[in-house]
Amino acid sequence: MIYAANLKCNHTKKSYADYAKKLSNGLSQNSNSVIVFPPFTALSEDKFNFTQGAQNFYPAQNGSYTGEIGSQMLEEFEITTVMIGHSERRALGEDEPFLKAKFDYAVSKGWDIIYCIGEDDITHMNGSTKEFLSDQLANIDLNYENLVIAYEPIWAIGTGNSAKVEFITEILDFISSKCSAPLLYGGSVNITNIDEIKAIKSCDGVLVGTASWDADKFLEIIKKG
Ligand code: PEP
């Protein structure tokens, strides 16, 4: 199981230092299957028993891209795992051509990619989730060897209400019919629903937002695994 923590725009440098120490100490050994995406300002050069990833990056080494972070800056922190396509970045204007440019750049670097897809509530309600996800997946090379796909229905993110197990199963089975990349589910995963989500056959892990922001809570979720 992969356990990924999306800290989003939470944690200062200091609070993340405490978080990372607690999480790392709570993991018995170096665990490649635990990935934490802190805010850029909190990234640490210390070594931990988990992998640090980047929530975002600009598809260039460096240059005149005001406010952006290029690969040169990520390399300083030995970051080789990136998240692309999160719905909160799509909502800020990252469209399919830009996501493709990010994806292709990450591939050129050989980075591990967690590529997020997911539909909004209107698409969900009108029953066109699979068509919508197919379009999102058509944007990337599904055969890329270091690809992980995170299915995150937007209507379940940050609501405290995860999608139902039957629905997650149907969608992950659908995605796995298209590729062999490991699949994560994200959307209000927490200590009360981790067991049933983990038990889904085609689920290889979880991407956790809110319930990962406290190291103890995230550890509890991991330990249940
Ligand atoms: C997310 O935003 O990636 C996420 C899964 O958030 P939450 O767990 O809070 O729904």
Dump pLDDT digits (tens) for 6-29. Answer: 999 999 999 999 999 999 999 977
pLDDT digits (tens, 9 = 90+) for 184-198: 999 999 999 999 999
- Residue 140 scores a pLDDT above 80: yes
Q: How many CA atoms lie within 13 A of 215 on its CB side?
A: 16
Confidence of residue 31 (pLDDT cuts 50, 70, 90): confident
pLDDT of residue 142: 98
Q: Is the CB of residue 187 below 6 angstroms from any atom belonging to ligand 1?
A: yes
% of the chain with per-residue pLDDT over 70:
99
Mean pLDDT of the chain: 97
pLDDT of residue 33: 95
Mean pLDDT of 45-52: 96
Task: Say whether 124 is catalytic.
Answer: no
Question: How many Cβ atoms sit within 10 Å of the Cβ of residue 58?
Answer: 18
Domains, in order of start, for the chain: 15-223 (3.20.20.70)
pLDDT of residue 29: 77
**Burial (0-12, 13-18, 19+ Cβ within 10 Å), 108:** exposed
Cα separation, 130 vs 84, whole angstroms = 20
pLDDT of residue 225: 65
User: In the 8-state DSSP scheme, what is residue 49?
Assistant: S
Q: Is the CB of residue 190 below 6 angstroms from any atom belonging to ligand 1?
A: no
Residue with tokens 């990010």: 102
Minimal-distance CA residue to ligand 1 atom 4: 209
pLDDT digits (tens, 9 = 90+) for 92-135: 999 999 999 999 999 999 999 999 999 999 999 999 999 999 99
Ligand 1 centre and the CA of 5: distance in Å? 9
**pTM for this model (two decimals):** 0.97
- Residue 1 scores a pLDDT above 80: yes
Task: Say whether 86 is catalytic.
Answer: yes
pLDDT digits (tens, 9 = 90+) for 64-79: 999 999 999 999 999 9
Question: How many Cβ atoms sit within 10 Å of the Cβ of residue 180?
Answer: 10
Ligand 1 centre and the CA of 63: distance in Å? 32
- Residue 162 scores a pLDDT above 80: yes
Residue with tokens 């050994």: 29
Alpha helices in the chain (DSSP H): 13-26, 71-76, 87-90, 96-109, 121-125, 129-137, 165-176, 194-198, 215-223
Q: Is the CB of residue 153 below 6 angstroms from any atom belonging to ligand 1?
A: no
Residue with tokens 């070594």: 47
Query: Ligand 1, from 3, 6, 88: best to mutate by most atoms within 8 Å of Cβ?
Result: 6
pLDDT digits (tens, 9 = 90+) for 171-185: 999 999 999 999 999
pLDDT of residue 32: 73
Q: Is the CB of residue 210 below 6 angstroms from any atom belonging to ligand 1?
A: yes
